[in-house]
Structures are given as C-alpha cells and as structure tokens.
Amino acid sequence: MLQLGVEDNVGDGLLRISRELIKKALALISQGSDDRAEELHQVRVINKRLRALLRLVRPVVSREFFARENRRLKKVADRLALFRDDAVSQHTLERIATMVSSAREKKAFHRVREVFTGRGLEPGTLERRREEAMRKAARDLREANRSFQAMLIPAEEWHAVGPGLLKAYRRARNHMLRPLTEGTEEAFHEWRKHVKCLHYQLQMLEPAWPKRLGTMVRRLKKLEEKLGKDHDLAVLERLLSDSPEASGGQREVKHVTACLGRQCKKLRRETVALGKEIFREKPRKFARKFSQRWNAWHRPGEGNTLL
C-alpha cells in the first residue's frame, strides 16, 4: 500500500505515490495476462486512487490544474467502466442465485442466467474494444504522470492535505443524509463515491494516526463493499427490467428482480447503520484531532510512535 512516510516532504510524498500508482497501472495494461478483466478492474481502482489524491490537494493547487487532470482521469474511468458492468452483473446474478431457496425462484434464476450469459457482442469484439480502451487509458495515464510530476503544491505539512481531507470527510458524511431521506439508487451510489474517495485518502495518510485511521479505513472498506454490492444489484435489476424478453422472459425476470430488491433493502439497512457509526464525529472536530496527531507525528524523532 502506498502511503506517506514520516520522513516525507508532503508534496514529494504525494508525487511519489502518484508516480508509483501510474507505473503499476501501466504495467497491468502492458502485461496482458489470461485474466484481462481483473487487470482492467485493477487499473480502474488505481485510477480512482489517483482521483482521490487529486481531490486531496484540490484546495491548494490551481483550478486549471485540477480541472484538466480530473477531466483526464474521468475520461479513463468512463472508458473502462463500459467493460466492467456486464462482467459484474453476471457475477452478481450467479452470487444471488446461490441464495434463493424456493423451486420457483431457482428455476427463474436458471433461465435468466442462461439467457443473460449468452447475450452480448460477437466473439472477439469485446476483447478488441477492451484492448483499445486499455491502450487509450495508458496514453492518458502517461500524460497524467507528466502533469503530476510537475504539480505545484504551494503549502506544507498539514496545510497541504488538511483542507482537502476535511472537505472529503464532510462530503462523505453529508451524502449519508440523502439515502436516509430519499432511499434512491442514485443517492446510495453518490454516497458510495464519496466514501470511496475518503477511504483512499485515509489509506495514504494512515501512518500519521495508525490506531484511529486503521479502524476507520477498515470500516470504510466494509461500508464501500456493501454500497458496491447494492449498486451491482441495482445495475443488474435495471439491465433485466429494461429488456425482460431478452433476459429470459417477463415472469422469470419478475421473480429475479423481486429477489434483487429484497437483497437491496437488507444491504441498505446495514450501510446506513454502519455509516452512522463511522461518521458520528463532526467534520471540524475530526480534522482538529487529526491535525494535532499530524503535528506530533510529522517531526522526525518526535512522536513517531503515536497511536
């Protein structure tokens, strides 16, 4: 895991992290193993980590730099996302199929899985398009690497990361309120994006406050995974509902989507409970405590063993 070290100059440490992340992504793109779908997934994760790093320094870098690099990384994300939805939906369908018990639901899942797995592009077309997307992603990431290494961070120590972290924590906490009041797929998905961003940022900064941040990182990961499963269920339900005849038939799809809906409700209850536990502390209080730990930690030879 790439993290800031106690001896790091903050700006140099963030540039090192971005450089290593991009290097890893380019290696994944170029190696082309048998599990190409997993490599694409890992490149997407790295791209999200880069966007989280960029948001961490957003308050202290130029608006032009942030807008340009965020736009570039979003383009990579959008291009690769197209090749993840079908694979995730098939996996989700198979996972939920193992959880049903009634003979009617088992029969419906069997039929929908049979049809859903067989649909899509002509053999070889998906692979060619995926490789083209990966090549374009590599080009964009190389350009991003050049820009990141020239990035100017006109702030030092806590002032370089504190404002961005406060904003990320506040957004993740505030976006928890919409699912509580609206309960929509869009609200939960938007919350997930902010939870993921904060999760990646705290991972980078974890050495500054290992005990508190280690616990938060683990809980945020658990929350993110639950929100991710909820999103996967919602995407699959939408795909099936939009074309029931092409997915096994009206009756079968109705049984499957009803089961998906029940799983969504269960997951959403769990995510809300976990979110309330994670975000009990108000943003400014959290940031104030963190800044005190940071100032004690980020002095060579002083306070480096703080928990």
**What is the value of pTM for the model shown?**
0.88
Cα 85 to the center of its chain, rounded Å: 14
Neighbours of 172 (CB within 10 A): 25
Confirm if 60 and 10 have CB atoms less than 8 A apart. Answer: no
What pLDDT is attached to residue 245? 61
What pLDDT is attached to residue 136? 96
C-alpha atoms less than 13 angstroms from C-alpha of 161 in its C-beta half-sphere: 23
Of 277, 257, 265, the residue nearest 230 (C-alpha): 265
Regions in the chain scoring below 70 on pLDDT: 1, 85-86, 114-123, 243-249, 299-307
What whole-number distance in Å separates Cα of residue 287 and Cα of residue 307? 16
Identify residue 61 by its one-letter amino acid code.
V
What pLDDT is attached to residue 243? 66
Neighbours of 42 (CB within 10 A): 15
Name beta bridge partners: 299: 302
Give the pair of three-digit tokens for residue 38. 């997993």
What pLDDT is attached to residue 235? 81
Identify residue 240 by its one-letter amino acid code.
L
Q: What are the tens digits of pLDDT across the range 109-163?
A: 777 776 665 555 555 777 888 899 999 999 999 999 999 999 999 999 999 999 9
Confirm if 277 and 219 have CB atoms less than 8 A apart. Answer: yes
What are the structural domains, with CATH classification, of the chain? 10-297 (1.40.20.10)
What whole-number distance in Å separates Cα of residue 266 and Cα of residue 205? 32
C-alpha atoms less than 13 angstroms from C-alpha of 228 in its C-beta half-sphere: 14
Confirm if 10 and 61 have CB atoms less than 8 A apart. Answer: no
What pLDDT is attached to residue 300? 46
- The residues, ordered by sequence, that sit 6+ positions from 187 with a Cβ below 8 Å of its Cβ are 175, 178, 179
Q: What is the rounded average pLDDT for all residues in the chain?
A: 88
